[in-house]
Chain A
Amino acid sequence: EIVMTQSPATLSVSPGERATLSCRASQSVSSNLAWYQQKPGQAPRLLIYGASTRATGIPARFSGSGSGTEFTLTISSLQSEDFAVYYCQQYNNWLPITFGQGTRLEIK
């Protein structure tokens, strides 16, 4: 099983500033990595797939980078609606597909 480790667990950032979230895989997942945003009481929403491609309708302030085992989600100029929990997911190895434990992005 590929273990996905996200850091930090909680990130405190002021509105308008940049947030950088990290995700590390226990073995290479190539670029088969997605990022999701989840707000309280809501389903996860796809932000990024293929490590760096924004999903339909996702604002340009969200960007993803990395390949292999190290990945980053960057949110430039945080908006109030961006404060949420973010999960990375690898889909390189399907048995099983695995998610990181999440990073909570909170208002500083």
Chain B
Amino acid sequence: EVQLVESGGGLVQPGGSLRLSCAASGFTFSSYEMNWVRQAPGKGLEWVSYISSSGSTIYYADSVKGRFTISRDNAKNSLYLQMNSLRAEDTAVYYCARTSGYDSDFDYWGQGTLVTVSS
């Protein structure tokens, strides 16, 4: 069974940093592209970042470029999101999501981890 479990969320002050993790199991993690998607309270879905299966290709949304860094450790079946210079508008539930092996939709999602940026 495919499982994605996020961790690392919490309360952080504006300008602070946080590192999110996503532990993957039930599939060959090193074969799949991965993403981070966030959802502000009561709002819709916003794609944040993408990383290829090898980690060689990375994309970011303009809203986080230069502040967030996506990475992965295929030996540990883990995906990460380093978030620096956090702002109030970064407050959201952050989901890791797997890119489908058939198409480029997101076929599995974790349950999410809440990041709250507030003083």
Contact = CB atoms under 8 A, between A and B. Distances in A.
Given A49-B105, A94-B50, 12 more contacts: A32-B104, A44-B95, A45-B109, A46-B100, A46-B105, A46-B106, A49-B102, A49-B107, A89-B45, A96-B59, A97-B35, A97-B47
A100 B103 CA distance: 19
Interface of A: 32, 34, 36, 42-46, 49-50, 55, 87, 89, 91, 94-102
* Candidate in B45, B95, B102, B103 with the most chain A CB atoms within 10 angstroms: B45
A43 B111 contact: yes
A95 B59 contact: yes
A4 to B, nearest CB: 10
A43 B111 CA distance: 5
Contacts of A89: 45, 105-106
**Number of chain B interface residues as a range:** 20 to 34
B59 A99 contact: no
B61 interface: yes
Contacts of B61: 96
Contacts of B104: 32, 91, 94
B26 to A, nearest CB: 14
A87 B102 CA distance: 20
17 contacts: A34-B106, A44-B45, A44-B106, A46-B105, A46-B108, A49-B100, A50-B105, A55-B107, A89-B45, A91-B103, A91-B105, A94-B59, A96-B61, A96-B62, A97-B35, A97-B50, A102-B45
